[in-house]
Every structure is written in structure tokens, then in C-alpha cells.
Amino acid sequence: MNASLQNKLPTLQANISNLSIKNALALLADFFPCQVTFSTSFSYEDQIITHEIVNNNLPIKIFTLDTGRLFSETYSVWSRTNEFYNTKIEAYYPDAIALQELVSQRGPNSFYESIENRKECCHIRKVVPLKNALKGNTIWVTGLRAEHSPARQDLQILEWDEGNQLIKYNPLLHWNTAETIQFVHQNNIPYNSLHDKGFVSIGCAPCTRAIKAGEDFRAGRWWWEDANKKECGLHEKQA
């Protein structure tokens, strides 16, 4: 356990509490040079954070997880984002041998058969690559919002991530959906075209569908499962 780093949380929280996202990111990057990284899935939220990082020339690394099962529209917005901001967003991939064994033993769509199978797939395709991406970093910037799911209601803007032994910064945590979308359109930020087709939370293609009127934000993710279990393991709290 990194007690020294954990002990810095209250001071960091106080330092960024009244700052804009841009200034908070700049302060964290100054406190922890070359140790601040941002994970993007090219969602509305993540595109806003990319916009803030690149437009303000902040020394923060940007990466994404390519699971191998993403929508073609996600790859398209990834390309448009690199072109628009003149960036080269780094990709992390699943271990080829682990993935080959999973598909060989359980089949390509085993995640539909049980929660255990689905979490195993998420672990190989997302959780392990994420841990590789976070190595050597002190701050992990995310696009999490409290509206995303019941499990995210008690998150803090700055919090300790026990599983990854670093500090997680959630700058858009208290933004609502309307202001998130408004910011994207007002600033002409590239976004995933699936958002215009009823897709709200976008993950892997086999595990994501558009939501229907009145459905919860996360209803389109792993829709065959219990609503309380809709996390892939990237942001699950660990004791």
C-alpha cells in the first residue's frame, strides 16, 4: 500500500477544489511530471478531457484500450480525433496468448453465457491492458460521471484507487448529460456517431446496444445481466 501517496490526497483535493478542469490537470501534471495519464474510450466525456489536455498543451499521456471487439464507429472517431488534434493516442491490447486460449476454450461469444464468462473476457481484453497502461503513473484521469450508474454515485472527484495503487481524478464527475453534450457541440469536438443513434454508454460491439426511451444510462451495456452488476472491472472498488 502506498501510504505516502494516499496521505497526499487531502492536500491535493484542497488545491484543486476551486480550479477549472484545465488548471486542475495542469497542477496535477506539475506535481507529478510524466506520471499523469488519461484513458479514453472516445465517449462524450473522454473527448472533452482530450480537448482540454491537447488544447492547453498539458503534458499528460493519452491512451485507449483496443479490445479487438470495438464498433467501427469507435475506430472512426479515434482516427478523427488524432487528425483533429494532431495526436497519436497510444493503444494497449489484450495479451495474444490469453485471448487465443479464451476463444479456443470458450468460443468467441462466451460472455453471453454467464457473468463469470463475461468478466473473464473483460479482464483479458480490458483490465489487464489497463494495468499495463497505468504502470509507472501516479494520477489516472478518467471520464467517469456520477450519472453513469448507481455504483458511481459515491465516487469522489479525487480518490484513491486501491487496485491500481494510484490516485484517480474524475474531473467530470458532477457534470450532467445535457451540459456534457452541449460542451462537445459548442466546441465542435469530434464524437462517436453512435451517440446520435441512441447509444449512450459505448463499449464493445457485442455487449452494447442503443437504449430505449425511459431506460437507464447503462441499460445498453450487458443488457442480458442484472443491472447492479454492470461493471467491467476497470472501475470497481477494491477493499
pLDDT digits (tens, 9 = 90+) for 106-136: 999 999 999 999 999 999 999 999 999 999 9
The mean pLDDT value for 15-34 works out to 96
Count of the separate structural domains present in the chain? 1
- Tell me if 227 is assigned to some domain: no
Residue 20 makes CB contacts below 8 A (sequence gap 6+) with none
Q: Is 78 exposed, middle or buried (0-12, 13-18, 19+ CB in 10 A)?
A: buried
- Tell me if 148 is assigned to some domain: yes
- Tell me if 92 is assigned to some domain: yes
pLDDT for the residue 232: 55
- Tell me if 216 is assigned to some domain: no
- Interatomic CA distance for residues 99 and 95, integer angstroms: 6
Closest Cα partner for 233 from 171, 155, 151? 151
pLDDT for the residue 151: 66
- Tell me if 138 is assigned to some domain: yes
222: cell is: 450487458
- Tell me if 169 is assigned to some domain: yes
Q: What pTM did the predictor assign?
A: 0.91
- Catalytic site positions: 232
- Interatomic CA distance for residues 225 and 239, integer angstroms: 24
pLDDT for the residue 35: 97
Helices (H), 41-191: 44-55, 72-85, 96-106, 115-122, 128-134, 177-186
Residue 116 makes CB contacts below 8 A (sequence gap 6+) with none
**What residue numbers bound the domain in which 14 lies?**
3-192
CATH number of the CATH domain containing 139 = 3.40.50.620
Write down how long the chain is: 239
